Every structure is written in structure tokens, then in C-alpha cells.
Amino acid sequence: MKNKDWLYLFAYYILKFLVIIMPNFILNFLAFIVAKIVFKFNHKHRKIIDINLQICFPEKNQLQRDQLSFQIYRNFANFGLDCIKNQNTSKEKILNKIVIDNEKILNEALKSQRGIIFTTAHYGNWELLSLAYAAKFGAISIVGRKLESQKMDSILAKNRTQFDIELIEKQGGLRKMLNAIKNNRALGILTDQDCTDNESIKLDFFGKKVNYQMGASVLAQRTKALILPAFVYQGKDKKFHIRFFKTMDPLEKSIEELTLYQANCCEEMIKFKPDEYFFFHRRFSSYNKAIYKDMQ
């Protein structure tokens, strides 16, 4: 096992032990301290976040961006702890921590008896979305990439595959995705990260040209499955809220229109609660490489 694998594994088991023995208010305080430390010393990603925030929210000054950046670090520290809490959990515990804002949209999609492709983003506690759906509504398959650490990937896979959740490796997973829809399983796909020209459509995102993944749109056209954007955010009640946007019918829209709709929904959620978006990646790099210069 590589040294990094041992380090990741050691950190994970320490965190898991703390999650088991400590009350939530202490865990939240620890997450705050860890976020403070990482925020102070993680210069590379702070710069990436700041550049992304300047693009998305040009009206914010440096102080406002710094405050928002720290809140992003703090949120994802808390979401990471929640991910650990969700290992080997029960459906009841999952459902007790969620609120569905507009369940009617999902119920209507289910009544149509057509396939459903959930499109989402690295937004909020996104790992919870598939768990919540499977706990309440049934089988779902989700598309993802393996982690570099095999040990950590195995641990994460166990968390992701509870309650009849199937994990499909993105690379070479097309047939499994098609079979999932054919077998009446919902399909969940993260569509927000930058990607190559041959797997994307060039469109406007926060006023900048980006490559936006079109895989979900292509699958929807091929299978006649409905596109249903869905996001998880934390409300003032401290519960995790699932927000659905209206479904988009691939029989009525082009691949370009379906993909632009997904991008617009993602942009709307980021504007709604920007501190819950994973601004750590170079989202705008395909056509704006120079803005991320000197950050290797």
C-alpha cells in the first residue's frame, strides 16, 4: 500500500472514531477548527476559489470573497463528517435528516413510468442525494470515478452502495448506464465539472464559455428517460433539503437544450447558496486557462 493510502486510512479511522464517541456540538467545533487551519494554509485552492468567485460574483469585494471562501471550507468539513456518519446507517436515520422541498415533481416523474436521469453537481452534501432517494423511493444507479487511493475508494463505495444503490464507473460504463435505465433503476450523474470537447457542449455558464458535460442529455435522448435536476442543500433548520427542478423531456428538446437547462439549474443553485458549491476545481479552465496560471 502506498504511503498516501496509509495516511488517508489512518485519518479516516481517527475521524470515524471521533464521530462515534463525540457529541455533535464538539464535532462541529472540530470541523470549524480544521476548516480554519486548512483555509489558512491551503493557498493553492484558496486562489482557485477566489478566481471562481470573482467570475461568478463580480460584485463581491475581497473581504466578502474571503468570508465566503472560509464558509465553503467549513461546509465541506461538516459534509465530510456527515458522510462518515452515514456509513452502515439505516433508512430511517437518512430520512430523518432530509426534507424534500417539492416532492410533487418527483412523484409526477415516477407516475410517468419512464426512466429518470437525475443530474446534479458537486453541490452541498451531494453524496446524500442517492442515499435519500434509495431509502424512500427505490433502486438507483450512480455514475462516479474511482479515487486514487484504492483503500479509500473501497470505503467510499460501501457508503455509496447502501439500500440498493449501484455504483457505475464512469470510464467504460455506458452499457451499465443503459441497462440501469432499461431495468427501471433511476440514474444519477454529476454533470458540472470541466471536461473534454468530445464529451461536452460549449455554452455560457456565469457569463463565461465552458465545456458542460452532455452525457446525461445523450443518454436521455437514447432511452427517452426524463431529465430531472436535483440538488441537496442545508436549510436553516439544519436539515438537508432536496430541491428538484422541473423535468425536461428529451422527446421535446435537443441535446443542446437539455444540457443548457442542466447548466442553468446548476447556476441557479449556486446563486441561491454559493457557500455550498465545490469551488475548488478549475471550472472555467477550458477556454480561460490563463486565469489559473501559476497554480500547479
Q: What is the pLDDT of residues 204-215, one digit of tens each?
A: 999 999 999 999
Q: The whole model's pTM is what?
A: 0.91
Are the C-beta atoms of residues 110 and 104 closer than 8 Å to each other?
no
Are the C-beta atoms of residues 106 and 228 closer than 8 Å to each other?
yes
pLDDT of residue 122: 95
Residue 233 pLDDT level (bands cut at 50, 70, 90): very high
pLDDT of residue 153: 66
Q: Is the pLDDT of residue 73 over 90?
A: yes
Cβ count near 60 (within 10 Å): 15
What lies within 8 Å, CB to CB, of 157 at 6+ separation is 167
Residue-averaged pLDDT of the chain: 91
In this structure, of 63-67, 75-79, 105-109, 161-165, the range with the lowest mean pLDDT score is 161-165
Average pLDDT over residues 83-99: 91
pLDDT of residue 170: 84
Q: Is the pLDDT of residue 89 over 80?
A: yes
Average pLDDT over residues 19-25: 86
| The three cell numbers locating residue 135 | 431509502
**pLDDT tens digits, residue range 256-295?**
999 999 999 999 999 999 999 999 999 999 998 889 987 6
Q: Is the pLDDT of residue 296 over 70?
A: no
Q: What distance lies between CA 125 and its chain's CA centroid?
A: 7
**pLDDT tens digits, residue range 150-200?**
666 676 777 777 888 999 988 888 999 999 999 999 999 999 988 888 889
Q: Is the pLDDT of residue 129 over 70?
A: yes
Residue 2 pLDDT level (bands cut at 50, 70, 90): low
Q: How far apart are CA 200 and CA 215, in angstroms?
A: 7
